[in-house]
A and B are shown apart, each in its own frame.
Chain A
Amino acid sequence: DAGITQSPRHKVTETGTPVTLRCHQTENHRYMYWYRQDPGHGLRLIHYSYGVKDTDKGEVSDGYSVSRSKTEDFLLTLESATSSQTSVYFCATEGRGTYEQYFGPGTRLTVT
């Protein structure tokens, strides 16, 4: 599983509160991605990183921010959680220049 972990694995939070999800990898992969997965939509890219402090927006970035201060850690922050952000969030990495992405175990986030 390419040494990718996510924390927390489950979280319930209230509308309007900030939430930070963490992705940690031990493979020294350069590229990291945050996706959300919702029924009928597959995997949608939120933000991605192509190196330390180098990040860019994906297709569904509104309401999310990211940071990458170290190669191994990629943080996703919901500044003010909304019910529409209830989802399963997956982190992925790519490190061999082959396009093959390796996924973390996911975080199930519920916003009430």
Chain B
Amino acid sequence: GENVEQHPSTLSVQEGDSAVIKCTYSDSASNYFPWYKQELGKRPQLIIDIRSNVGEKKDQRIAVTLNKTAKHFSLHITETQPEDSAVYFCAASRGMDSNYQLIWGAGTKLIIKP
């Protein structure tokens, strides 16, 4: 069935450096790709998303890029700060008539070293 693979599972970066998390998806009908951030003990919250009609989207220090041909998308965080430490999940929409289901990656634990 459809799946989303997310890499790496853990990423440790020095404060101030950039972090990149990558996801690949299999459902060719996917057209919505969100990224959620989950802090320890909290609920996942949407931080950025992209739809298939654009290749890149930015919001301050975070950006998402999408390559539909290769079926992969990435989250980029620049100038990392301690508050960026969290688990990040990518997801891809299932095709039409799916009742707005998302297919989730397994998550990346981002550690920001001081």
Contact = CB atoms under 8 A, between A and B. Distances in A.
Contact of A99 (B1, B43, B45, B100): B100
Interface of B: 1, 6, 9, 32, 34, 42-46, 49, 89, 93, 99-102, 104-107
A107 B104 CA distance: 19
Contacts, number: 48
Interface stretch (A11-19, A40-48, A61-69, A74-82): A40-48
A90 B44 contact: yes
A100 B42 CA distance: 18
Given A1-B43, A44-B104, A99-B102, 12 more contacts: A31-B99, A31-B100, A40-B106, A42-B107, A48-B99, A99-B32, A99-B100, A101-B34, A101-B46, A101-B100, A103-B43, A103-B45
14 contacts: A33-B101, A42-B89, A42-B107, A44-B104, A58-B101, A94-B100, A99-B102, A100-B34, A100-B46, A101-B34, A101-B46, A104-B43, A105-B42, A105-B43
A42 B105 contact: yes
Interface in A82-112: 90, 94, 97-101, 103-106
A43 B43 contact: no
Interface of A: 1, 31, 33, 40-45, 48, 50, 56, 58-59, 90, 94, 97-101, 103-106
